[in-house]
Chain A
Amino acid sequence: MGPETILSVEDLGVTIDGARILHDVSFTLGQGEALAVVGPNGAGKTVLFRALLGLLPHSGIVQWREGLKIGYVPQRFSVDPSAPISAKEFFLLQSASFWRPTAAFIEHLDCELTLMGLDRSVLSKSLGELSGGETQRLLMAWAMLQHPGVLLLDEPTAAVDLGFEETVYAVLHRVQEERGTALLLISHDLNVVYRYAQRVLCLNKTVVCQGPPVETLNQPALTTLYGEAGLYQHPHQH
């Protein structure tokens, strides 16, 4: 019935320095599906992403579909501002020919930049010169460059202004529709979850609830997840 499963997670657990950060996390992600991960600060959302990507040792099973390309937009990305690394070279890290990029690669790069509302003049800037918003858009264009089958986005609009937040989600929605890209998205904004996610995974060290957002994110579930203070008073840290 549902779309083909591209990610299957069973009983995932992560322990760091003796502290149990995640336990008994199980869920699946279907092709072209948008799954939002919500939860309070310290719930283990970023740790979950890092475990899924193989960046952290974990227990349990993480099974990606064979040959699936993964795009990742991390929450934090900082480069030594004095490092002479141009934005173009940042993209060339994904090219087989770092020293002599092909015309096709540059042309394709232009398309992805346009999609994210970036001018190609940004390519000649050094990474350290970019504003927070530019860096975030660049990271998203970078993650989408190879048309991955799934995008993992760790608070993708944390550094962009409110006006652009809408554009970001519209672009993500378009990519999901047109390319069949699955989205795994960490967000603090429930409006975004309601509008763009087909399913939600409520996480607080373990899975508190999961399912379609409208049915799943009811008041008892939100109280369990965030406590009596509720989601809207939840501190937003960037």
Chain B
Amino acid sequence: MHSPFHAAFWIALLVGIASGSVGPFILLRRMALVGDALSHVALPGIALALFYGIDPFYGVVIFLIGAAFLIFWLEGRSRIPPDAIVGLMFTASLAIGILMLPRNDVIESLFGAFPVLSIPYLLAILASALVLSALCFVLARQFLFLIVSPDLARVHGVDRKFDLTLLVVFALIVALGIKLVGTLLMGALTIIPASIAKNVSRSMRLYVIASAALGGAISVGGVWLAGMFRFLPGPAIVLLGVALFVISLPLARRKTA
């Protein structure tokens, strides 16, 4: 019915769009590095799931949502600098995951692969990606309100639970892409399209739309390159994204000129 390449193409398109949709909010919350490192937390989840013989996806989801709650909790405590703790914990997760993972699964878990999936499984991933993208658009006002001014947002009835919603949406999008892009690089897929789109956008609405479109385009382009040259899809997607980011830099200078 479908080849791993076709599955990769559709996942790349829809999870890429979802990554691009959530990326602007993560970037504007100054969480690019935290977001990038969040995907590392999935690795012990994969290892534990493999150990207990269950689908690694469930391990990934549980660990990533746990990490989203942890970041939210840390942000609510002004005495603790979240970036240092998150950086340490996420890097530790990576180290623990590597030690726990069976050798054969290490490269695939870190850098992704062309996934072999049943049709229902594939459809569930694609439908989830669509729903999560839609959520980013529907809740854009609340997400942005909390970024612009948490105080004004709260006075207007937009409370911190939307921050938690954003983090959980972000964690779920990362979870959806991990099979294709890998735990080490998936976080980057959410940040790169948003970084490029930021260089060329003058309004938030255009920014989110451009970032979503770029997320889809970069991911599909990366999968195509990986298929052509027999690369792993994760590195191909990330490198294509970084190349486009470099090209977009002069546009950023023009925008501010």
Identify which of A80, A84, A90, A126 gathers the most chain B CB atoms within 10 Å of its CB: A84
Return the contact of A72 from the options B30, B140, B155 (Cβ within 8 A): B155
CB neighbors of A among B198-235 (8 A): 198, 201-207
Interface flags for A57-98 (1: CB within 8 Å of B; 0: not) read: 000000000000010101001011011111011101111001
B204: chain A residues at CB < 8 Å are 83-86, 89
Identify which of A72, A74, A98 gathers the most chain B CB atoms within 10 Å of its CB: A98
Identify which of B30, B203, B256 gathers the most chain A CB atoms within 10 Å of its CB: B203
How distant is B197 from chain A, measured CB to nearest CB, in Å?
8
Given contacts A93-B141, A93-B144, contact A72 B28 (CB under 8 A): no
How distant is A80 from chain B, measured CB to nearest CB, in Å?
7
B88: chain A residues at CB < 8 Å are none
Question: What's the dominant secondary structure at chain A's contact region?
Answer: loop
Q: How many residues of A contact B (CB 8 A)?
A: 27
CB closest chain-A residue, reference B201: A84
Given contacts A77-B149, A85-B144, A93-B145, contact A55 B203 (CB under 8 A): no
Answer whether residue B154 sits at the interface, using C-beta atoms and an 8 A cutoff.
Answer: yes
Provide 27 A-B residue pairs closer than 8 Å at the C-beta atoms, listed in order of the A residue.
Answer: A50-B151, A53-B155, A55-B154, A72-B152, A74-B149, A77-B149, A83-B147, A84-B203, A84-B206, A84-B207, A85-B144, A86-B203, A88-B203, A89-B144, A89-B203, A89-B205, A90-B148, A92-B141, A93-B145, A93-B152, A98-B140, A98-B144, A98-B205, A99-B137, A99-B140, A124-B202, A126-B203
Residues of B participating in the A interface, judged by any CB pair closer than 8 Å: 28, 30, 137, 140-141, 144-145, 147-149, 151-156, 198, 201-207, 256
